A and B are shown apart, each in its own frame.
Chain A
Amino acid sequence: MRKMIGMAVSAAAIALAGSAYAADIKVGLSSEPTAMDPHYHNVGPNNMLSNAVFDKLVAQDAAQNKVPGLAESWKQLAPNVWEFKLRKGVKWHDGSPFTAEDVKFTMSRAGNVPKSPSSFKLFTGILTEVEVVDDHTVRMKTKDAFPLMPEYMSVLIVVSKKHGENATTDDYNSGKAMVGTGPYKFVEWVKGDRIVYTKNPDYWGPKPEWDKVTVKPVSDNAARVAALLAGDVDIVDFPAPSDLPMLKKNPKISLAQTQSTRLIYLHYDTNRDKSPFIFDNAGKPLEKNPLKDLRVRQAMSLAINRKAIAERVMDGLAVPSGQLMPPNVLGAIPDRKPDPYDPAKAKKLLADAGYPDGFKITIHGPNNRYINDEKVTQAIAQALTRVGIKTDVVTMPSGPFFSKGTALEFSLLLVGWNSGTGEPSDPLRALVSTYDKATGTGATNRGRYSNPALDQMVADSLKAPNREEWVRLSQGATAIAMNDLGIIPLYFQVNVWAMRKGLDYVARADEYTQIQDIRSKK
């Protein structure tokens, strides 16, 4: 009975009633998965909830470090062979034992779900053979040397062969095939309303705490925080940055936050001679694309006060960035600093490049994709305008935004990147490598930045015989992209969870809300 309990008049003094001491918990999430099938759609909301019911060979801890999951250990036997030793005594929810055959089956299913809107082929496609050595040993073989097998295995959900063979996506959605090894068992999914889980008391890892977990999608930021304050849910992801000061002051609420691996960056047309949204000061299209000049790109980067954006626009929920991945991530450059704010130097660089009076440009941004995306886009325009690059702002929902961006209809755009594997190989390959249909690289390179030296390094890094060599090549390629300013890195988002006091959640860099990690405070 939450009725009539508190007649509190200020938002700070809300009575957080509800099922505070029952062993049930309600989770309010900003997004809903598109299916329960763990291999249907490679997107965050699906992947994170699959982690409650299923396990992976390699798990990712809160900082995206790779830790043992269903595999207890792994080693690289040869440059192109990785061996995984599986955990013994693990049982599926129906009581049958987990074996290497399940792993082999998973590798054949994960990339081949019919009509998948985004499959895991990227991760299973490199495997030439999955060899079952014994019930608890598998060897993953690739054609060339491959250094990143643990990373790839840390995104692939292992499903039961018995229940997964011939199972369709619908069979998973209905619960028929939702038999995992994970800490929670699947109960039901009422689309748009809730997903319900119960405890798996026989879990091999840390014992799950809640008898029943209900996940509710509440996409509106204000409504989600309101639901938390009203006691409808116990924990929410992504509270709006603007609500943080209020939540911090609230004695009934605690917060968890950490730096994300999601980079927000500016992408721009550095390839074409005439770009659709670049004009001279009179409004006529410029014959020469100023963005091809490194000095102009440097000026743009120096014109942006990343710290002010982080503090004022993002309410502290951003960490200024000078590269693709946070410096502490394996493969990133540990000591690279973000570009400073230096409008005087920016103006000088512009003048040196032949634009003493600047030029006109339009920045495009999404308005429903990243935290405060619309506001940041405006702030960037403000910053550029103040050094002489008169900038118009156009924002739109992510649907038209991304399709127009990929169709190269913009000159300057604000985009974000999140790495599922928690290392820089994805952005290096898909974002800053040359757009090439033959090799499949540069699929997200919406500015068509291209540097052959970088391409070579990236290609070599993915065939590196060992991890050390891979790190060296990744750092080298990152340095090239950043020195060229192929993109302008702005900041990493900070992920925040807000929960009622008495709960504990270790904030994750990958934005995932993993229900098994929500605990009551000891």
Chain B
Amino acid sequence: MTVFLIRRFSQSLAVLLVMSLLVFVGVYAIGDPVELLVSAEADQFERARVIADLGLDKPLWEQYGYFLLQSFKGDLGTSFVFNQPALLLILERMPATLEIAFAAVILSIVIGIPLGMIAGLRPHAWYSRTIMSVSILGFSLPTFWVGLMMIMVFAVILGWLPASGRGDTVDLFGVPVSFLTWDGLTHLLLPAVNLALFKVSLVIRLTRAGMRENMLMDYVKFAYAKGLSHARVIFVHVLKNILVPVVTVVGLELGNVIAFAVVTESIFAWPGMGKLLIDSIYRLDRPIVVAYLLITVVMFIVINFIVDVLYSVLDPRVRLESKS
């Protein structure tokens, strides 16, 4: 286990290093942030002052070296635009993003698993076919398009839900959350559903596949032979078996959900870190872009690690398979 941990850690560090270098150079190549910062009225002297102040007059390798040195001290740089630590700016926005990401994941489980089970139990029934065909829509429709349509229908035409923003928040353990207020909840619904759409389809398909395969297995026949009720076989025995892979995949997907929140947040003006990333890419605020990507990679590594550990704990077959 220790060896495993050390290897994981060193690999992750290498990934971070490569990633930071690529992004650093990448964003540098996009353009000169000073162009967007300095007002057009400014004269040459003012431009020169800003370039020097932001440290952009130094060669790129020196800028990167300085960044590396600082990042070991926990400082991921200072935003060009806000003159505040990039890490702080991102952490400020993180709760909002995590909130819609978790909401989306929960929605996809709550909606996806029952539908998937129905479709898996009677794969040839008309309603199962309908569920499956509709689930194809779920990953055929571009997120941005669905998001805008939802605003049109539910906010503008029907006027049921607010179109954008986060609404009222209350502090839960010092973190602002919106799902505990009515206003916050109404703001949360549309973006969460928008983000969940893709994942609902995924969960439906996974559950259905698991259902179909498990129903053919011996243990199910055995359970029926033992005289267990249909409901008990399905909801206790089969469900337990399909939940493991479904939950695992959904857990792994969390990272992707957070990444796709970029699109959803832009459309719903949700004040999360994805919106900050898009804005920062447009503004060429390199420290934020680099810090964001590093934080996402770290989050991915942590999530994957937890899932790996959990998976091997939950499902004994995993270990057996890896041995054979």
Contact = CB atoms under 8 A, between A and B. Distances in A.
Interface string B232-270: 000000000000000000000000000000000011110
Nearest to A31: B279
Interface stretch (A9-17, A340-348, A484-492): A9-17
A160 B268 CA distance: 38
Interface stretch (B81-89, B130-138, B293-301, B316-324): B81-89
B243 to A, nearest CB: 35
Contact of A17 (B36, B53, B83, B159): B159
B38 interface: yes
Contacts of B49: 119, 121
B83 to A, nearest CB: 5
Interface in B264-301: 266-269, 271-272, 275-276, 279, 281-284
Contact of A223 (B53, B93, B163): B163
Interface stretch (A78-86, A213-221, A494-502): A213-221
Name, among B41, B96, B165, B266, the residue most crowded by chain A CB atoms within 10 Å (CB to CB): B41
A192 B158 contact: no
B160 interface: yes
B39 A191 contact: no
A178 interface: no
Interface string B140-165: 00000000100110011111111111
B198 interface: no
A522 interface: no
Contacts of A10: 157
B92 A226 contact: no
B80 A117 contact: yes
Interface stretch (A306-314, A402-410, A449-457, A472-480): A402-410
B165 A218 contact: yes
Given A122-B43, A403-B35, A7 B158 contact: yes
A11 B41 contact: no
A8 B36 CA distance: 43
A430 B32 contact: no
Contacts of A216: 164-165, 269
Contacts of A191: 89, 92-93, 271
B212 interface: no
B83 A117 contact: yes
Contact of A430 (B43, B82, B276): B43
Interface residues of A, number: 77
Given A117-B80, A232-B165, A397-B282, A193 B156 contact: no
Contacts of B272: 192
A394 interface: no
Query: In the complex, which range does the number of interface residues on chain B fall in?
Result: 35 or more
Contacts of A7: 158
Interface stretch (A92-100, A132-140, A440-448, A513-521): A440-448
B322 to A, nearest CB: 44
A251 interface: no
Contacts of A431: 40
Interface stretch (A35-43, A357-365, A379-387): A35-43
A271 interface: no
A426 B41 CA distance: 6
B110 interface: no
Contact of B41 (A117, A398, A420): A420
B271 A8 contact: no
A430 B155 contact: no
A118 B35 contact: no
B69 interface: no
A399 B41 contact: no
Contact of A399 (B83, B92, B148, B284): B284
A220 B84 CA distance: 25
Contacts of B157: 8-11, 14
B271 A193 contact: yes
Contact of B165 (A114, A169, A193, A229): A193
A429 interface: yes
B46 interface: yes
A283 interface: no
Given A115-B54, A399-B36, A230 B43 contact: no
Interface in A198-232: 216-220, 222-224, 226-227, 229-232
A61 B279 CA distance: 31
Nearest to A421: B41
Contacts of A400: 30-31
B44 interface: yes
Contacts of B151: 222-223, 226, 230
A230 B163 contact: yes
A383 B80 CA distance: 39
B199 interface: no
Contacts of A121: 45-46, 49
A65 B267 CA distance: 37
A15 B157 CA distance: 9
A270 B243 CA distance: 68
B68 to A, nearest CB: 21
A483 interface: no
B19 interface: no
A443 B48 CA distance: 11
A284 interface: no
27 contacts: A2-B159, A2-B162, A8-B158, A14-B157, A42-B39, A43-B39, A116-B53, A118-B50, A119-B49, A121-B45, A173-B84, A191-B92, A191-B271, A192-B93, A192-B276, A223-B267, A224-B164, A224-B269, A227-B163, A229-B155, A230-B156, A397-B282, A399-B35, A403-B31, A404-B31, A406-B35, A440-B44
Interface of B: 30-47, 49-50, 53-54, 78, 80-84, 89, 92-93, 96, 148, 151-152, 155-166, 176, 186, 266-269, 271-272, 275-276, 279, 281-284
Given A223-B148, A227-B155, 10 more contacts: A42-B41, A216-B165, A223-B163, A223-B267, A224-B269, A232-B155, A399-B281, A402-B36, A406-B35, A421-B41
8 smallest CB-CB distances across A and B, nearest first, come from A192-B271, A403-B31, A440-B43, A117-B37, A403-B32, A193-B271, A402-B35, A230-B155
